[in-house]
Structure 1
Amino acid sequence: MASHKFAPPPSSRRDPSIDYRYNANEETLNETEGDLYENVTYEQPRAIQGNSNGGTSNNTTVETKTPKCTPINVVLSIAVVIGIILSVCGIILVIQVDNRLERAIEKLSKTSTPASSCFRIKEGGQNQSEFYTIHPTSSPSFFKVFCDMESAGGGWTLVASVHRNESGVKYKYTGESIGTRDGYGLWENYLAFGTPENAHKKDFKSPAYFSLQSSDVMIWHIDSHEEIINASNKAFLKYYTTTGFLRDYGGTLQSLYSQHYPLAQRNLGPSLKNNSLTKMIEALNSSGEDIRSSVFQFYEYRYDFSGSVQNHINDGGSDMFDGGNKIFYRIGDDPEVQVTYNEKYRNESHGVELLSSTSHPFNLLMWVGNMDRSVSSFSLKAVSNAGADGGGSYSTYDGTIAIEDITLKFFAFNVYGASDPSISTVFYYVYNRNISGSIELAELKKSLWTSGTDNLQHEVTVTGSPKLFLLGYTLLSSQNGQKIPKSNITSVLSKILLHIKPEITCDGFPGSLLQPISYLRGSKNSVFNAIPDNDKMQTKPEFLQFRVYNIFGIPSALCYGIRTESCWPHNVCIGGPNVVKNEDGSRTIYTGWGGDSSTQVESTDTVLIFTR
């Protein structure tokens, strides 16, 4: 730096007669010469006036010094100023942090609370239905759930949803638990999938399903377009249990299914409803005139017989028989049994019922259950001595008739062309392809089939360990030995087929859990009106039903809002199968929604399952 024009001399050389007082208007000292003061100016020196005694005056001016201003002091001063500024900023920051912390704590109370359930959050004062974070005591971690804080006192946790669009995923059925994904039984395992935010449009299973201890269940039916946050107001059905039943089954739906009501196939099958066989025979009898009209000049044979048991036709009139129409049935390898007319036969161990009727025409029906398929075959046989005594002609017919899901296959043997009334013994096998199961293995065969017009023995056998079918027999005749063509026989059997619809029931199947419900939205009438007509007689509203079996012994997990005795519970239940035969012969299980009926309940896009 440049030197100042003036600098005071060192003290050792100062003239006492000179005044060195500070003058701020004068030039400053040279900072490079190591002087003690910086940026300070002084007045020009002035002589000091002496006293009269020639001494130094007492009014000597004292030198005034400014504090030393070194770089260190400057730095310290700056630091102090910065400190003051930082202190002020710190106060502002603390206020801001405090506000943010308060908001964070408020948010934390909603999303990351250590509360064990929505019910506990509700108890803590939160009344808004939205997404929260919970930590059940049995869970190793936190997770997000949707809490309904309004319905029936609130505190409900959404644990699962079943969405219609995801029910079409195909799984090959192997006899393991129903509803499997990657080998897991979804209703029974500890696998969670989906998110609560998307539960309205995607299948969802929360960790709360298996970790949250609860007492009751609530169900909502919603349209899949409704966001979960708005679902409560948009649901068209809402109902819940009040009995606290889950406490008795481990406290979760997972424990209910895995430990008490596992969803595994059982060797079950329907039974024929009481008097169902009798009703079918009576229906055939009452339609006798219409059936007979299919045969030109039908001959109404007489039921004459000898002895005390009516199990044959002795003559029938006009020498139709020389002892004929003796009917026998056989179950597997058991000895054959001759049928007494109008008497009912029952074999409960194999689910077999048989009944005949002395009507015109003669009718016999044999219902076969054989649900465990322990019997490999079932047979009917007719033995007769024809009145033709070797005269006339004979012929054999076979054919198939199908009406909707019902198929009828038949064999017929005809004796005609003699002066006696003609004889046509007709055997038929009827099955419903939707209920008979493994029909590709079953086959109707002629196991004994004689020719000629005298000693007649004809037997048919259904092989392949068949189940759930009817074997039937009818006796036709035409006056004057006229031939009964195949078209007439087909017409007769088509009319018979209209009246032989077995009424089967799965009532009494073991293992269903029933719980009454209370409605929050909708009513028992709205639920009942939405049930398919074919299921109404076997279905009652105002229940939740857990695990119910269908006709194949395959379970559905949950019947929503109803209890059913139907053999087709997947029409009104979820978590069960719709068994469909594929082109390759395998059968496909649909794990979500089943059935083909278009009803209000059935067409619900999403079912939401809550627990509390």
Structure 2
Amino acid sequence: MELLQKGNTITGIYTVSIDNELKEGAKNQQEIYCDMTTDGGGWTLVASVHRKDDGYKCNGSDMWSYNPFSKAALISGKGSKSWTDKSTMGSVREAASADYKGDVYYKGQARDVMLSHVPNDVDVTEFDGKSFAKYHTTDGFLSKYGSSLRNLFKNHAPLESLDVIGLNAKLLSAMHGSISPSSIITNWYNYSLNSLTSTVHTSGASIPGIENKVFFRLNDGTYHEMTYGQSYTDSKTYHVTSKVGQPFAALATVSNLDGYPTKFSLKVVSKHNYQGSSNDKVVMTHKGFALFSDVYQAYHRNHPTLAFVLFHINYDGWISAPQTSQRVFSPGIKNTSQYELQVEGGVKNIMLGYVLMAVRSGRTISYSEIETFFKKTFDVFASEEITNTAVRPPPEISVQVIFIKGNIVYTKSNVTTGFLQFRAYDKFGAPYAICPGVRVGSGEDPAKFCIGSANTQFNFPGRCGDFAAWDTLEDHVFINRSPDDGFVNDLHSTILIFTR
């Protein structure tokens, strides 16, 4: 804009020094491209998103979605750092042939954003003439988000996958706070756990021969033994925690936004000298929660009856994916019983858990008592109004645009033309940086309309890359976006990003 104010009215390349302002003739000069004609001019090209390779996604040419560091980073569910760091890439003169980001992307002070679609590999002198779709915001929205796209993505719309980490503490608080097991379960027997040996104690006296250990694992990998009271978190995949109390509980919240793992297991290994045991299932729904549990009760004529309750929970508000579960009970192997719950299939936005209950010798815990315990837990959980927002996206940032050239129209799709939407989420919870020209409606897949995806190449390679799953939507291939200049294929075009 400063170049325009100084009388420069020609669209093209300018050599300037960028230091929060654009100044000609200063030191540390570099080339920038400015559109000085569209709607009054003053637009600076800050970035371009280019689809280079039809045959491979998320390689080194997809710099707005590629993360070259490690598999752990690749499956973390985060978008490329290119949207938020101060790196630069490419050349302004080759912005239609490769991804480009200049210093002005993060140094410029801007109010509005403009996108221009051009065929791949056009010369910089043809950026304006060959544009087949051009549109921009008009309300100065960017000034509310730090005056640059970097600040918008870094501070206001971070490209991080959704998760349900934190729900464990809420459910544990419900179990140990508002709910008293002794008021629900007849003949409840208070116990404690030795934090060093995991030995069960009751009323200050150890139950002879009892030792419990809790494990979790992903897929068919190694079992990880839990230390009582500690938490375990793996990025956006799972959060496992336990709490010593009445009752003892271990919980695993599995958000699993990138589809890894396909299985998740909790296992309890109990060493004991109890003579008998019985199994029961408690399945119920309550206020949008669905509980699937197995109850294993172990008896001893001189000691309290112990009930090992393994369960998993789905909830409508978490958008839990459907899954299948398998329970494995292995009693009496050298005085060691193993109780394992394994969930597989759609392992997404669910909770697995283990609760240890005890009642007086000779007594058992009934189906209705287990059911009531969980109903009251869900009542407290739901009343805190934390469930509905646990995995749902934060408020979207969508801004209306006016079209200067062409239009962006999709047939038979739930999208609204005339917007720029920032950070749209797909059903897996993965973020997409910008939806060019549209706002994606409920139930629609942003991978088909938005650019700059989280890197999902290890789990969903078809949804990976700067242009994500655009190749799966016929409109990107068969709609003629430029009737005056001949057929244009969206998959062989570049999106130029300007700010003013």
What's the TM-score, normalizing by structure 1? 0.41
Is the radius of gyration larger for structure 1 or structure 2? 1
Which one has more relative contact order, counting CA pairs under 8 Å at least 6 apart? 2
- Pick the structure with more strand per residue: 2
